[in-house]
């Protein structure tokens, strides 16, 4: 009898929880899934985005992108370059900084707040600041500092040299993502039992060995999470790119914006968006293979 | 029980979020309610979308005066500086905009049925013909330009006088001679926002001096195969643009400067020339100590009394707005001479109205130049496809970055072919 009552109670509770989960699921479907499916659908049409007429062209837009759009492939490979630079840079710098901040110090909270500040700033404001105060070739802090240190040969037109623009803007993306990444790594470090470090030291391991043999493997779930989040953020990066890059250096996000809204080719723009989505999936899959989470 | 209470609270919060998501559509649909509201004299709000935040002071004044006559019609200006086309498209599709600004390519919006036809409206008589011509298709008027501009070069009068030159360079050879003299002093003489491919403005000035009566048709003819990039006048224009970049006349770091960065270089007195347009006069006017003037660079053998005339900032009404009467009422008010005078004097732009004059020291320089020279057609005003202008910008930009002309020609011709294939 008691088992019967417990079973009914469990079923009643489960039904209640499923009902509660249904609401965010419905929201997710309408806000994310439906537009995504619509976008895939639009990639099969030729449409200018405003007129009521759409022409079904099947996979023609994809063929056009691959074979007849000279700007597509440079944007595609620029996106990969940009993501790799941002992800690797962000992960390495944030691990380093989080370990520094994790040490016991009165200034810990201050540094956490300072590093998190860029995350709450408007992207356009950050882009403006970097463009005018840091990267400006004539009065920017970066070139002036290099000159003051006698490193004139290192000064560049950071947003003007075609080979450099991607990395200059990538540095800003890293700057904006550091705060979140550092907080996640600090949380990951807090989950590592202190006893493991102590016992490793007792066994004769030095700090570097402890870091690479114990800390880093145990941080791999967090590293994986930070990698994914940074990768998605970098792939979707539009604001900074649009504001700062000259029009000859594009990534997929700015390319598809031009296709859809400047040149009114919603079909090819949507096809580029689908390619971007697939690229994120592929890179996420590769990341899962490289970073083993089950330690 | 406790879990159920917590779960219920979370559900309530989520439900509130869903209701909040519906807020936008409510405000768009509230225009339907406003019809009834307007009949009863209650408030109607017109949403006006534009990218020119520089003009906000002017709009505020005009709207304040409008509200003295029409207290129940509010005009809400929204300034979208980035991704304007995207925001405009979204707002048109959701019918959440009543009036908006365009800078050309009205044909796309006319074909899409997005623009209210204004033919026959009495307020159009207040505009000069040049303000209506870019907004007229098949004899129907869909809007009016709010400012006349020119693509020009600004020059620092004092810096040129120190070099022994009075007034602007009259010929190309004189322009090059002045540039060489500044180079000897270690000054790169031309400020230009080459990060935004603004060397295109130099190319356009040269082009219009060579074919002032034909410049607005040339690019469409090139795309149609009736002319070539390697024919005159484009061949000469390309060589001259390359000559300027090869001689290193552009200020240091120009490929990393946008239009504002280049303007700052000019205003700091680090370069005697600024390649831009008369819309920049409002920025230069902020420094009263800066002694500047305007001119248009002429190609060798080209007309020396011509400038590139650019009617700009077209205001239109959404064809599907439920507030047609109110939108027309506001349009009529802003088309009155006194409103045009406020707009032009505050924005420091050349007025477009008949018998509207504005006395502003910065504006007078531009107006005097326009009145004493002949207007040449803008190559970008009647482009059949927005991508043509973008390809031309990239063409001149790549030449400025050092690409050989033949390679740049091959790239742009391929771009035209791809563009036509996708139409």
Per-residue pLDDT of chain B in tens (423 residues, 90 and over written 9):
666 666 566 655 555 555 444 444 333 333 444 444 444 567 999 999 999 888 899 999 999 999 999 999 999 999 998 788 889 998 998 999 999 999 888 888 998 899 999 999 999 999 999 999 999 999 999 999 999 999 999 999 999 999 999 999 999 999 999 999 999 999 999 999 998 889 999 999 999 999 998 888 899 999 999 999 999 999 999 999 999 999 999 999 999 898 999 999 999 999 999 999 999 998 999 999 999 999 999 999 999 899 999 999 999 999 999 999 999 999 999 999 999 999 999 988 999 999 898 888 999 999 999 999 999 989 887 787 888 999 999 999 999 999 999 999 999 999 998 888 877
| DSSP letter assigned to residue B158 | H
- Is the Cβ–Cβ distance between A127 and A239 less than 8 Å? yes
Q: Do B415 and A70 touch (CB under 8 A)?
A: yes
Give the pLDDT score at B30: 38
Q: Are residues A142 and A13 in the same domain?
A: no
Give the pLDDT score at A6: 59
In this complex, the residue of A24, A131, A261 whose CB is nearest that of residue B86 is A261
Q: Are residues A213 and A251 in the same domain?
A: yes
Q: Are residues A38 and A167 in the same domain?
A: no
CA B106 to chain centre: 13
Written as six digits, the tokens of A58 are: 């099947």
Give the pLDDT score at B7: 59
Find all residues with CB under 8 Å of A45, minimum gap 6, and list them. Answer: A54, A55, A56, A57, A61, A266, A267
Q: Are residues A32 and A85 in the same domain?
A: no
Give me the number of domains chain A comprises. 2
Give the pLDDT score at A63: 93
Which segments of chain A have a pLDDT < 70? 1-6, 8-12, 104, 246-247, 292-295
Give the pLDDT score at A293: 58
- Measured between beta carbons, the chain B residues lying within 8 angstroms of A247 are 196-197, 390, 393-394, 397
Q: Which residue has the tokens 């027309």?
A: B328
Nearest CA in chain B to A49: B89
Residue B154: φ, ψ to 5°: -90, 150
Written as six digits, the tokens of A3 are: 């088992």
Q: Cite the DSSP H helix spans in B322-404.
A: 324-334, 337-347, 361-372, 386-400
Is A166 inside a domain boundary?
Answer: yes
Is A57 inside a domain boundary?
Answer: no
Is A112 inside a domain boundary?
Answer: yes
pLDDT tens, position by position, A217-259: 888 889 999 999 999 889 888 888 888 886 678 999 999 998 9
A 191-220: CB under 8 A from B: none
Q: Are residues A163 and A228 in the same domain?
A: yes
Nearest CA in chain A to B196: A246
Give the pLDDT score at B325: 95
Q: Do B422 and A265 touch (CB under 8 A)?
A: yes
**CA–CA distance from A164 to each of A125, A156, A200, A245, B184 (Å)?**
22, 9, 43, 10, 30
Q: Is A243 near chain B, with CB under 8 Å?
A: yes
**CA–CA distance from B59 to each of A291, B74, B131 (Å)?**
56, 12, 19
Residue A26's domain spans which residues? 2-42
Kindly provide the ipTM of the predicted complex, given to two decimals.
0.77
- Is the Cβ–Cβ distance between A268 and A59 less than 8 Å? no
Q: Are residues A142 and A18 in the same domain?
A: no
| DSSP letter assigned to residue A127 | H
From the list B176, B140, B115, B183, the residue with the least C-alpha distance to B319 is B115
| DSSP letter assigned to residue B53 | G
Is A60 inside a domain boundary?
Answer: no
CATH number at residue A109: 1.10.3720.10
Cβ–Cβ pairs < 8 A, chains A and B: 124
Supply the DSSP string of B230-286, one letter for each residue. TSTTHHHHHHHHHHHHHTT-BPTTGGG--HHHHHHHHHTTS-SEEEEEGGGHHHHTT
Q: CA-CA distance, B344 to B350, in Å (whole number)?
A: 6
- Measured between beta carbons, the chain B residues lying within 8 angstroms of A12 are none
Distance from CA of A171 to the nearest CA of B (A): 16
Nearest CA in chain A to B191: A138
Assign residue A81 a region: left if phi > 0, alpha if psi is -120 to 50, beta otherwise? alpha
Is A52 inside a domain boundary?
Answer: no
In this complex, the residue of B15, B258, B386 whose CB is nearest that of residue A263 is B386
Q: Is the peptide bond before B233 cis (omega within 30 degrees of 0)?
A: yes
Q: Are residues A193 and A75 in the same domain?
A: yes
pLDDT tens, position by position, B77-102: 999 987 888 899 989 989 999 999 99
Distance from CA of B359 to the nearest CA of A (A): 34
Q: Are residues A226 and A124 in the same domain?
A: yes
Q: Are residues A153 and A220 in the same domain?
A: yes
| DSSP letter assigned to residue B70 | -
Is A62 inside a domain boundary?
Answer: no
Is A59 inside a domain boundary?
Answer: no
Q: Are residues A80 and A24 in the same domain?
A: no
Q: Are residues A125 and A24 in the same domain?
A: no
Contacts of the segment A50-58: beta carbons below 8 A, 24+ positions apart: A50/A264, A50/B89, A50/B92, A50/B93, A50/B108, A50/B109, A50/B111, A50/B112, A50/B114, A51/B111, A51/B112, A51/B113, A52/B112, A52/B113, A57/A267
Q: Are residues A38 and A125 in the same domain?
A: no
pLDDT tens, position by position, B204-248: 999 999 999 888 889 999 999 999 999 999 999 999 999 999 999
Is A53 inside a domain boundary?
Answer: no
> Which residues are B78's β-sheet partners?
B49
In this complex, the residue of A13, A247, A263 whose CB is nearest that of residue B197 is A247
Give the pLDDT score at A16: 82
- Measured between beta carbons, the chain A residues lying within 8 angstroms of B267 are none
- Reported in sequence order, the residue ranges of chain A that DSSP labels E, i.e. its strands, are 45-46, 55-56
In this complex, the residue of A24, A50, A158 whose CB is nearest that of residue B256 is A158
Supply the DSSP string of B115-126, one letter for each residue. B---TT-GGGGG
Q: CA-CA distance, A112 to A97, in Å (whole number)?
A: 10
A 6-35: CB under 8 A from B: 13, 16-17, 20, 23-24, 27, 31
- Reported in sequence order, the residue ranges of B51-166 that DSSP labels E, i.e. its strands, are 73-79, 99-102, 136-137, 140-141, 143-156
Q: CA-CA distance, B331 to B315, in Å (whole number)?
A: 9
Q: Do A159 and B195 touch (CB under 8 A)?
A: yes
């Amino acid at each position: 009898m008691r088992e019967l009552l417990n079973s009914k109670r469990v079923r009643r509770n489960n039904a209640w929880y499923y009902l509660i989960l249904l609401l965010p699921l419905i929201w997710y479907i309408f806000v994310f899934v439906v537009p995504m499916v619509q976008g895939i659908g639009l990639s099969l049409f030729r449409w200018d985005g405003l007129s009521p007429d759409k022409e079904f062209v099947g996979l023609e837009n994809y063929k056009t992108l691959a074979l007849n759009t000279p700007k597509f492939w440079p944007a595609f490979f620029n996106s990969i370059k940009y993501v790799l630079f941002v992800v690797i840079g962000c992960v390495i710098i944030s691990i380093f900084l989080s370990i520094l901040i994790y040490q016991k110090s009165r200034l810990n909270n201050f540094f956490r707040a300072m590093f998190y500040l860029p995350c709450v700033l408007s992207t356009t404001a950050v882009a403006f600041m970097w463009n005018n105060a840091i990267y400006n070739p004539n009065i920017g802090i970066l070139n002036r500092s290099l000159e003051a240190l006698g490193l004139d040969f290192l000064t560049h037109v950071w947003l003007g040299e075609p080979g450099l623009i991607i990395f200059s803007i990538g540095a800003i993306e890293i700057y904006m993502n550091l705060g979140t990444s550092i907080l996640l790594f600090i949380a990951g470090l807090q989950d590592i039992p202190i006893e493991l470090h102590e016992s490793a030291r007792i066994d004769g391991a030095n700090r570097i060995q402890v870091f690479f043999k114990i800390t880093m493997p145990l941080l791999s779930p967090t590293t994986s999470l930070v990698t994914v989040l940074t990768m998605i953020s970098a792939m979707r990066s539009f604001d900074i790119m649009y504001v700062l890059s000259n029009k000859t250096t594009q990534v997929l996000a700015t390319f598809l914006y031009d296709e859809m809204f400047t040149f009114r080719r919603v079909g090819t723009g949507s096809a580029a968006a689908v390619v971007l989505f697939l690229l994120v999936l592929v890179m996420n899959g590769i990341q899962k293979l490289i970073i083993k989470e089950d330690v | 029980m406790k879990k159920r209470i917590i779960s219920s609270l979370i559900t309530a919060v989520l439900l509130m979020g869903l209701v909040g998501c519906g807020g936008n559509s409510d405000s768009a649909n509230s225009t339907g309610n406003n019809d009834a509201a307007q009949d009863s004299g209650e408030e109607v709000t017109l949403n006006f979308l534009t990218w020119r935040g520089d003009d906000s002071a002017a709009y505020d004044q005009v709207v304040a005066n409008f509200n003295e006559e029409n207290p129940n019609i509010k005009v809400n200006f929204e300034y979208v500086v980035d991704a304007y086309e995207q925001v405009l498209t979204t707002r048109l599709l959701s019918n959440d905009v009543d009036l908006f600004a365009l800078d050309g390519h009205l044909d796309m919006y006319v074909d899409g049925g997005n623009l209210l036809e204004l033919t026959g409206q009495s307020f159009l008589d207040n505009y000069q013909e040049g303000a209506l011509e870019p907004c007229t298709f098949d004899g129907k008027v869909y809007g009016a330009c709010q400012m006349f501009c020119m693509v020009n070069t600004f020059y620092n009068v004092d810096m040129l006088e120190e070099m022994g030159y009075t007034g602007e360079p009259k010929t190309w050879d004189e322009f090059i001679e002045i540039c060489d003299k500044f180079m000897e002093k270690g000054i790169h003489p031309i400020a230009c926002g080459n990060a935004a491919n603004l060397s295109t403005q130099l190319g356009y000035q040269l082009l219009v001096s060579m074919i002032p009566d034909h410049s607005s048709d040339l690019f469409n003819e090139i795309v149609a195969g009736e002319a070539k990039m390697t024919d005159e006048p484009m061949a000469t224009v390309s060589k001259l643009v390359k000559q300027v970049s090869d001689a290193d006349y552009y200020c240091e770091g120009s490929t990393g400067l946008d239009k504002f960065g280049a303007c700052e270089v000019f205003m700091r007195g680090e370069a005697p020339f600024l390649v831009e347009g008369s819309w920049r006069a409002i920025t230069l006017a902020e420094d009263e100590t800066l002694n500047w003037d305007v001119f248009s660079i002429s190609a060798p053998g080209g007309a020396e009394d011509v400038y590139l005339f650019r009617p700009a900032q077209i205001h239109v009404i959404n064809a599907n707005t439920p507030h047609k009467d109110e939108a027309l009422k506001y349009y009529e008010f802003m088309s009155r001479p006194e409103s045009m005078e406020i707009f032009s004097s505050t924005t420091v732009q050349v007025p477009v109205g008949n018998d509207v004059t504005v006395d502003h020291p910065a504006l007078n320089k531009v107006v005097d130049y326009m009145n004493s020279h002949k207007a040449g057609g803008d190559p970008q005003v009647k482009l059949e496809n927005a991508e043509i202008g973008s390809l031309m910008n990239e063409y001149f930009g790549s030449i400025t970055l050092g690409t050989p002309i033949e390679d740049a020609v091959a790239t742009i011709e391929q771009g035209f072919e791809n563009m036509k294939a996708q139409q």
